């Protein structure tokens, strides 16, 4: 507990220090520019004057008089005393003085200086300044105290305006309020042209320099206001707006959208007075109101039922500002109710006005030539697939999924073996339940206290966490914290991670949408497209259908800045640390019954850096272990969906029903790709949206037989060889935890032996820890599989910043290991047809990893030869000959064995309904794309772009080429080359060749080869270093020889990226399908969150105001570009397969479909590859980059830009390979 107390002490200290500076500064200005005092005091708002009238002022005078006496005592000349006295008078309005632009205050000071010209006077002046400073400090303290008292009474709502004209207008308006209605005032106010410097403010965003530094603070402020609005803390938002507005330094942070947001809040409540205040401030800040401002004002008038005249004037002004009335209804996002109020107001002025219909999306057509076919209308050949479920079933599934998402978490039963319910276990469970009840109460209390202190901070004008803490109900937060405590690993978790995750969870949960009914109706109609027993008028893509059913989604909310996320999470973590306590008797049975903390904040040292870790008390971990509770809790978004996901209709709407999901994921905190996506015309994204929708629409089910077998192993002893992790009981266990084994304390054991014992212990602990983490991973996957057994489920997809697609659910998906993949099969079956069985057999042989260089026929024959083994594996997997266990991918092979067995035993194999996914893999897909880009004949042949009788193996060929070089060198007498004789094999070079495409360097390549060489036992290990060095050089040379085009393209890409980065931009491009890509690599910027348990410092590479990280930009470009191409190829294939009614999913360059459809898929895959590369991809890229980075006249003189221009214009020349040949290449994907 005291660890915490210590932390809290630190926090308190920080708090006390906080509001420094500003009041003192204001006071000084007021004092120096004495002449201005009276005038200014009249501009101060009445409220402030009232406040100052109370006791605080009298005391202040007292103190100052005392100071004067002191000065006199020190023998200072009378003149000073007089000045001080004057100052006392001035001090009446020290705050108002601050409102004066500093320039004027300075002028005042300068004017005062010449009056005292003699040296003596000068000295006096110095003395006095010193005194004054002291006085100010004192004054500041008093002031603060006074203000604090006042704030506790009320939040500020009246603004203090910088423009005197506006201010007097405001005052006038307030005083005359009963006579002239506010609305008149508004009309007048609107006519005021924004002040001169508004132009400057408007131009500011273009100037990226210091502005961008403010960006982070603005984001924070905006998210604060947003949260206030969401949680009904509008007065607080207003208060902060006013306090920020009144300080010129802070006013710079305020943007139009913030004023608008607060105004909208007041409009919703129908509070015209406050709305007017904001309007005044907006004008005062020199901003020009936009559509949203008007919408808010009119809405408010609508609610208050104002008279037509005012509204008319307002509308007139709007027209003068060049804003369209129609725009109010089309360009401003409004709820139905807000719309009605707005309309009511407008109709008063213009009774005949009819609002434009909800904007019908203009017929947007994707312009990409690659997608022309997909979006061609009325194509009779189209047969989109349907699900095997009826409308009714699907509706039922929808309701299930809805329930899951509304509950936000899913509780799943663990597949861990049921413990014997001994007395001990029951007792532990009971203790645990008791503790949880206690913690719940304690957490409530702590949370409330925290909220209170945060609310207090907010009232003092700080951006506190108060509104964020109000987003979720206390019950929900307490639940979240208890869940966190439960899931905390025994070895602890870094505080930063914990904070980050907690913060993100709050953010995700608050985002849940709430128009459930509307959603249900629309979804139900949408299902007509997918269900097996319904009709739609016209076949179309899911997205098109969904869009036809209603208006587009409201724009999404901005994510919070990372610093807010972490700060919030940290605050919550601290609440947890403070609240969670347990009786000490749990830890030490004999100790008295005091309470001890459950969580400890400890440090781990990495070199000179310390990492704060939250660690549970070992006794608590022990308790959890003993209780062996059998439930696991997942966030609902971490679990596959139970109904077809919502189709993707925009970069931020799709997938889960209630929880918004991003179409593109990227580095946490990165914003730039989202901005790009939003700026992109919606139609350009159709390809990506539809492909993702289609991948997500594939229905899955669990392969029950495999799951049974795996579970059997899992609950028994595991089997690491087959990828089933062993239980902790199998781990090498240290005898007594960290405690020393017996021999360790004996003096007769030598120090060296003790050191050896320590090493052994450390090794064991390491193995145990690794096993434990693998085990937990498998536990999650298998428990989810068990949970979903006998159900149909869907894996919604999104993509990374290059366009590669991934399932959203992290634990259980088809992207994982062999075991994970084997657990899944298509929920929808398809008869095998004439060739299906053959493809199953070929697939089985592929999974074994044998016969890689044989023809398809040979592989099939091989399967037939082995049929007995296959059937044996299928029938008696654990007791028979276990042929399947030797395969490269044993579990998938076993699943395939079972499928083959069932098919061959079916009365008619062609009619056998198969659910089994068959895979087709690209052979070194990255090189395939490079070879096609460069039209490399030699390279193309070695990666199977050419139709040949047997599959080619690029790795073997590189190995052969290396061998040629080696022989030459050996003849020349190169020692290493001679040593290497007989050691160069496919295996040695494979990894390096594969990764060269993705930008592995010689250094990395050498390490890979070194590893391989070490695995060869009879290789003379002394030569490893030299040999690996030599080999990596030869591999690169061989690749250069075989893929000359590839290397030149790689170099061209790298060089372009380097130059782009030097011009100060991140590399950006557009994939052939139209997805904008931007590399999120910037120099690190540090973020620091102070106070509390510990200060957290982390750096983020996504701060766009930082310069790009040239090294990463340059090294990342070639692989990222190739990935954007392979993802385009995959999406094209997916879309075309969908048109043909196929089930299609992918794991990057591995495409899956039903056995019956493999041939069709292969054909589509090849065709689309040819289509894709028939585009002038590199020239398009070059053109795009020139337009993007070289066309700005301001920078065109820069040396980097001109060099970039030269580089971009010299696109690498293509070779002579005829791309059409790919269409006939059997082994292109196989």
Residue 921's Cβ-count burial label (10 Å; 0-12, 13-18, 19+) is middle
- Residue 742: active-site member: no
Query: One of 127, 800, 869, 921 is an active-site residue; which one?
Result: 921
- Decide: is 601 part of the binding site for another protein (CB under 8 A): yes
- Decide: is 619 part of the binding site for another protein (CB under 8 A): yes
Q: Residue 941 corresponds to which tokens in the numbers above?
A: 């042949």
Residues 6+ apart with CB under 8 A from 835: 1156, 1158, 1159
- Decide: is 264 part of the binding site for another protein (CB under 8 A): no
Cα 11 from chain centroid (whole Å): 29
The closest of 683, 805, 696, 695 to 1074, measured between CA atoms, is 683
Q: Residue 253 corresponds to which tokens in the numbers above?
A: 């942070």
Least Å from the CB of residue 739 to another protein = 8
Q: Are 811 and 640 in contact (CB under 8 A)?
A: no
Helices (H) and strands (E) in the chain, counts: 51, 23
Least Å from the CB of residue 497 to another protein = 7
User: Which positions from 942 through 961 interact with another protein, judged by CB under 8 A?
Assistant: none
Least Å from the CB of residue 1021 to another protein = 9
Residues 6+ apart with CB under 8 A from 917: 824, 825, 826, 1145, 1152, 1153, 1154
Strand 581-583 relative to strand 1150-1154, pairing: unpaired
Reduced to 3 states (helix: H, G, I; strand: E, B; else coil), residue 1004 is helix
Beta-bridge partner residues of 609 = 606
Q: Which is nearer to another protein, 255 or 584 (CB)?
A: 584
Least Å from the CB of residue 765 to another protein = 5
Taking the C-alpha atoms of residue 812 and residue 637, their distance in angstroms, rounded to an integer, is 12
Query: One of 348, 662, 990, 1112 is an active-site residue; which one?
Result: 990
- Decide: is 607 part of the binding site for another protein (CB under 8 A): yes
- Decide: is 611 part of the binding site for another protein (CB under 8 A): yes
Least Å from the CB of residue 561 to another protein = 12
Taking the C-alpha atoms of residue 994 and residue 1005, their distance in angstroms, rounded to an integer, is 10
Q: Are 1173 and 369 in contact (CB under 8 A)?
A: no
Q: Which is nearer to another protein, 118 or 607 (CB)?
A: 607
Least Å from the CB of residue 466 to another protein = 24
Q: Residue 1033 corresponds to which tokens in the numbers above?
A: 């050089």
Cβ neighbours of 1141 (radius 10 Å):
13
One character per residue 543-582, x = contact with another protein (rule: CB under 8 A): -------------------x--------------------
Q: Which is nearer to another protein, 808 or 1059 (CB)?
A: 808
Cβ neighbours of 172 (radius 10 Å):
12
Q: Which is nearer to another protein, 538 or 1018 (CB)?
A: 1018
End-to-end CA distance of the chain: give it in Å, rounded: 62
- Choose which of 104, 122, 422, 1099 interacts with another protein (CB under 8 A): 1099
- Residue 949: active-site member: no
C-alpha separations of 261 from 229, 255, 355, 1145 in Å: 8, 10, 23, 43
- Decide: is 501 part of the binding site for another protein (CB under 8 A): yes
- Choose which of 1102, 1125, 1147, 1181 interacts with another protein (CB under 8 A): 1102
- Choose which of 612, 917, 1005, 1118 interacts with another protein (CB under 8 A): 612
- Decide: is 588 part of the binding site for another protein (CB under 8 A): yes
Q: Which is nearer to another protein, 586 or 1137 (CB)?
A: 586
- Decide: is 591 part of the binding site for another protein (CB under 8 A): yes
- Choose which of 40, 245, 500, 859 interacts with another protein (CB under 8 A): 500
Count of residues touching another protein (by CB under 8 A): 92
Query: One of 936, 1126, 1149, 1157 is an active-site residue; which one?
Result: 1149
- Note the helical H segments in 37-101: 37-43, 46-53, 55-73, 78-90, 94-98
- Choose which of 192, 379, 875, 1084 interacts with another protein (CB under 8 A): 1084
- Note the helical H segments in 113-208: 119-153, 164-175, 182-191, 198-203
One character per residue 735-774, x = contact with another protein (rule: CB under 8 A): ---xxx---xx-x--xxx-xx-xx--xx--xx--xx--x-
Least Å from the CB of residue 824 to another protein = 17
Q: Beta strands of 970-1072 (E only): which ranges? A: 1068-1070
The closest of 707, 777, 764 to 738, measured between CA atoms, is 764
Taking the C-alpha atoms of residue 1064 and residue 1192, their distance in angstroms, rounded to an integer, is 13
Q: Residue 378 corresponds to which tokens in the numbers above?
A: 């009325």
Taking the C-alpha atoms of residue 550 and residue 538, their distance in angstroms, rounded to an integer, is 17
User: Which positions from 787 through 816 interact with another protein, judged by CB under 8 A?
Assistant: 810-811
- Residue 921: active-site member: yes
- Decide: is 587 part of the binding site for another protein (CB under 8 A): yes
- Choose which of 324, 610, 631, 1210 interacts with another protein (CB under 8 A): 610
Least Å from the CB of residue 10 to another protein = 8
- Choose which of 103, 117, 605, 721 interacts with another protein (CB under 8 A): 605
User: Which positions from 965 through 1024 interact with another protein, judged by CB under 8 A?
Assistant: 1003, 1007, 1010, 1024
Q: Which is nearer to another protein, 650 or 661 (CB)?
A: 661
Reduced to 3 states (helix: H, G, I; strand: E, B; else coil), residue 1097 is strand
User: Which positions from 650 through 679 interact with another protein, judged by CB under 8 A?
Assistant: 665-669
- Choose which of 12, 210, 361, 489 interacts with another protein (CB under 8 A): 489
Using the contact rule CB under 8 A, the part of the chain among 218-226, 614-622, 928-936, 1030-1038 near another protein is: 614-622
Least Å from the CB of residue 1155 to another protein = 30
Using the contact rule CB under 8 A, the part of the chain among 433-441, 605-613, 881-889, 1204-1212 near another protein is: 605-613
Using the contact rule CB under 8 A, the part of the chain among 168-176, 465-473, 584-592, 1221-1229 near another protein is: 584-592
Least Å from the CB of residue 895 to another protein = 24
Taking the C-alpha atoms of residue 453 and residue 544, their distance in angstroms, rounded to an integer, is 50
Residues acting as catalytic residues: 921, 990, 1149
């Amino acid at each position: 507990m005291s660890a915490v107390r210590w932390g809290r002490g630190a926090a308190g200290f920080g708090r006390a220090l906080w509001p420094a500076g500003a009041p003192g500064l204001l006071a000084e200005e007021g004092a120096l520019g004495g002449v201005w005092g009276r005038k200014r005091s009249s501009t101060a708002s009445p409220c402030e004057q009232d406040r100052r009238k109370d006791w605080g002022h009298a005391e202040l005078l007292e103190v100052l008089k005392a100071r004067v006496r002191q000065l006199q005592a020190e023998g200072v000349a009378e003149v000073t005393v007089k000045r001080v006295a004057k100052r006392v008078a001035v001090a009446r309005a020290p705050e108002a003085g601050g409102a004066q632009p500093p320039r004027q205050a300075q002028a005042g000071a300068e004017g005062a200086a010449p009056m005292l010209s003699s040296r003596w006077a000068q000295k006096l002046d110095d003395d006095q300044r010193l005194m004054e400073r002291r006085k100010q400090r004192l004054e500041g303290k008093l002031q603060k105290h006074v203000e604090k008292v006042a704030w506790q009474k009320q939040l500020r709502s009246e603004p203090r305006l910088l423009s005197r004209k506006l201010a007097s207008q405001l005052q006038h308006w307030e005083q005359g309020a009963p006579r002239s209605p506010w609305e008149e005032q508004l009309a007048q106010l609107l006519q005021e042209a924004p002040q001169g410097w508004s132009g400057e403010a408007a131009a500011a965003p273009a100037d990226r320099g210091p502005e961008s530094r403010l960006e982070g603070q603005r984001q924070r402020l905006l998210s604060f206001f947003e949260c206030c609005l969401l949680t009904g803390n509008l007065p607080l938002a207003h208060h902060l707006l006013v306090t920020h507005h009144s300080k010129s330094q802070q006013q710079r942070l305020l943007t139009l959208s913030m004023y608008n947001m607060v105004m909208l809040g007041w409009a919703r409540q129908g509070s015209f007075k406050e709305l007017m205040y904001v309007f005044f401030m907006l004008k005062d800040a020199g901003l020009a109101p936009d559509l949203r401002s008007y919408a808010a004002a009119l809405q408010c008038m609508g609610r208050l039922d104002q008279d037509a005249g005012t509204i008319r004037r307002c509308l007139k002004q709007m027209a003068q500002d060049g804003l369209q009335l129609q725009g109010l209804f089309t360009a401003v996002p409004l709820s139905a109710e807000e719309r009605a109020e707005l309309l009511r107001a407008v109709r008063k002025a213009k009774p005949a006005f009819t609002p434009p219909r909800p904007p019908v999306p203009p017929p947007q057509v994707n312009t990409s030539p690659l997608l022309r076919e997909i979006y061609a209308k009325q194509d009779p050949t189209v047969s989109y697939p349907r699900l095997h479920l009826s409308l009714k079933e699907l509706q039922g599934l929808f309701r299930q999924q809805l329930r899951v998402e509304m509950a936000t978490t899913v509780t799943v039963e663990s597949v861990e073996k049921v413990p014997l319910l001994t007395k001990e276990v029951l007792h532990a469970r009971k203790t645990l339940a008791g503790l949880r009840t206690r913690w719940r109460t304690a957490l409530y209390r702590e949370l409330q206290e925290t909220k209170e202190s945060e609310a207090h901070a907010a009232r003092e004008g700080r951006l506190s966490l108060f509104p964020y803490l109000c987003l979720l109900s206390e019950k929900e937060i307490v639940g979240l914290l208890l869940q966190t405590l439960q899931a905390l690993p025994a070895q602890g978790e870094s505080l930063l991670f914990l904070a980050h995750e907690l913060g993100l969870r709050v953010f995700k949960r608050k985002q849940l949408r709430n128009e459930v009914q509307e959603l249900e109706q629309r979804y139900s109609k949408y299902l007509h497209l997918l269900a097996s027993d319904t009709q739609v008028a016209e076949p179309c893509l899911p997205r098109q259908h969904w869009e036809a059913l209603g208006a587009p989604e409201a724009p999404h909310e901005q994510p919070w800045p990372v610093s807010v996320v972490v700060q919030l999470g940290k605050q919550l973590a601290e609440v947890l640390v403070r609240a969670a306590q347990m009786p000490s008797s749990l830890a030490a049975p004999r100790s008295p019954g005091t309470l001890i903390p459950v969580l400890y904040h400890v440090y781990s040292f990495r070199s000179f850096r310390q990492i704060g870790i939250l660690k549970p008390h070992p006794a608590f971990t022990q308790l959890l272990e003993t209780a062996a509770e059998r439930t696991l809790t997942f966030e609902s978004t971490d679990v596959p969906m139970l109904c077809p996901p919502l189709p993707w209709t925009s970069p931020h709407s799709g997938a889960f029903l209630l929880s918004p999901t991003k179409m593109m994921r990227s580095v946490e905190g990165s914003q730039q790709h989202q901005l790009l996506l939003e700026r992109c015309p919606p139609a350009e994204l159709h390809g990506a949206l539809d492909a993702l929708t289609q991948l997500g629409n594939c229905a899955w089910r669990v392969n029950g037989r495999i799951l049974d077998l795996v579970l059997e192993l899992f609950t028994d002893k595991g089997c690491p060889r087959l990828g089933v992790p062993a239980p902790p009981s199998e781990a090498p266990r240290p005898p007594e935890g960290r405690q020393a084994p017996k021999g360790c304390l004996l003096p007769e054991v030598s120090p060296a032996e003790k050191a050896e014992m320590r090493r052994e212990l450390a090794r064991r602990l390491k193995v145990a820890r690794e096993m434990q983490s693998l085990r937990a991973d498998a536990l999650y996957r298998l428990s989810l599989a068990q949970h979903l057994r006998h159900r149909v489920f869907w894996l919604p997809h999104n993509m990374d910043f290059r366009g590669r697609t991934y399932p959203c659910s992290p634990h259980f998906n088809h992207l994982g290991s062999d075991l994970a993949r084997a657990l899944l099969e298509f929920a929808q079956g398809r008869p095998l047809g004439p060739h299906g069985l053959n493809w199953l057999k070929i697939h089985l042989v592929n999974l074994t990893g044998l016969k890689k260089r044989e023809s398809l026929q040979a592989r099939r024959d091989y399967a037939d030869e082995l049929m007995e083994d296959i059937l044996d594996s299928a029938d008696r997997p654990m007791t028979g000959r276990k042929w399947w266990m030797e395969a490269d991918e044993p579990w998938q092979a076993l699943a395939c064995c079972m499928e083959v067995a069932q098919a061959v035993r079916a009365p008619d194999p062609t009619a056998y309904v198969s659910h089994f996914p068959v895979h087709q893999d690209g052979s070194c897909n990255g090189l395939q794309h490079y070879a096609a880009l460069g039209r490399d004949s030699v390279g193309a042949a070695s990666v199977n772009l050419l139709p040949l009788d047997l599959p080619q193996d690029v790795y073997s060929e590189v190995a052969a080429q290396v061998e040629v070089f080696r022989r030459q060198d050996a003849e020349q007498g190169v020692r290493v080359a001679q040593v290497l004789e007989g050691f160069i094999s496919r295996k040695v070079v494979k990894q390096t060749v594969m990764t060269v495409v993705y930008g592995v360097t010689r250094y990395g390549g050498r390490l890979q080869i070194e590893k391989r060489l070490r695995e060869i036992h009879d290789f003379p290990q002394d030569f490893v270093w030299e040999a690996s060095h030599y080999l990596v050089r030869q591999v690169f040379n061989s690749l250069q020889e075989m893929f000359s085009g590839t290397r030149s393209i790689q170099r061209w890409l790298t060089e372009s990226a380097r130059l782009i980065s030097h011009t100060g931009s991140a590399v950006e491009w557009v994939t052939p399908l139209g997805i904008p890509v931007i590399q999120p690599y910037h120099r690190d910027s540090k973020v620091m969150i102070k106070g509390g348990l510990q200060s957290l410092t982390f750096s983020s590479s996504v701060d766009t105001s930082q310069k790009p990280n040239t090294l990463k930009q340059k090294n990342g470009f070639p692989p990222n570009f190739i990935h954007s191409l392979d993802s385009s190829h995959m999406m094209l294939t997916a879309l075309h397969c969908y048109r043909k009614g196929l089930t299609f999913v992918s794991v990057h360059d591995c495409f899956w479909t039903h056995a019956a459809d493999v041939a069709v898929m292969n054909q589509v895959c090849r065709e689309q590859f040819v289509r894709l590369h028939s585009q002038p991809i590199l020239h398009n890229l070059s053109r795009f980059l020139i337009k993007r980075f070289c066309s700005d006249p301001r920078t065109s003189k820069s040396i980097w830009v001109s060099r970039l221009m030269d580089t971009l214009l010299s696109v690498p020349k293509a070779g002579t390979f005829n791309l059409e040949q790919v269409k006939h290449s059997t082994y292109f994907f196989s």
